Each structure stands twice: as C-alpha cells, then as structure tokens.
Amino acid sequence: MTYELTVHARESLRKRTNIRLEWLEQVIAHPQLVHADPIDSELEHRLSIIDDFEGRVLRVIVNPNVDPTRVITAISTVT
C-alpha cells in the first residue's frame, strides 16, 4: 500500500519517536478496527493493538479517498 504523510503527520511522528513506521504501515494496511471520523466524512480512524508496543493501540487517521492514501496523524493510547 502506498501512502503519503501530511506535514502534521510528519510532525506528529517526529514528536512521538516511540511510534515505528512499520507499525504505522501495518495499521494502515491491516487495521483491526475502522471508524468513520465524526467530523470529516472523508477520514477514517484505523486502529490496531501493537503487541511490541506494550499492547498499546495505534490509531492512524487517514484519508483513503485520495491516491496515495493520505496519513493525517498517528496517536497511541494505552489499552
């Protein structure tokens, strides 16, 4: 799967140095859960538990309606 990072996504990943790019790509390509964004109907929230990341959930917000898929941001949360 091809994707591009927005400026915001690049900045988010720069600040969150504990999020690996391979995990981001895994969530984009094979999310365990997908939610529509409550505000912007163009966006999806793709989520997966990352075992190698202390079982945290990685949420990657994307716009899948463009080619390549546009990554808006990535956020991790504790389960």
Q: What is the pLDDT of residues 4-55, one digit of tens each?
A: 999 999 999 999 999 999 999 999 999 999 999 999 999 999 999 999 999 9
Q: What is the pLDDT of residues 58-75, one digit of tens each?
A: 999 999 999 999 999 999
Per-chain mean pLDDT for the chain: 96
Residue 2: how many CA atoms within 13 Å on its side-chain side? 3
What residue type is 32 in one-letter code? Q
Tell me, what's the pLDDT at 4?
98
Tell me, what's the pLDDT at 10?
97
pLDDT band at 1 (very low <50, low <70, confident <90, very high): confident
Tell me, what's the pLDDT at 78?
83
Residues 27 and 32: their CA atoms lie apart, in Å, by 8
Q: Where are the domains of the chain?
A: 3-77
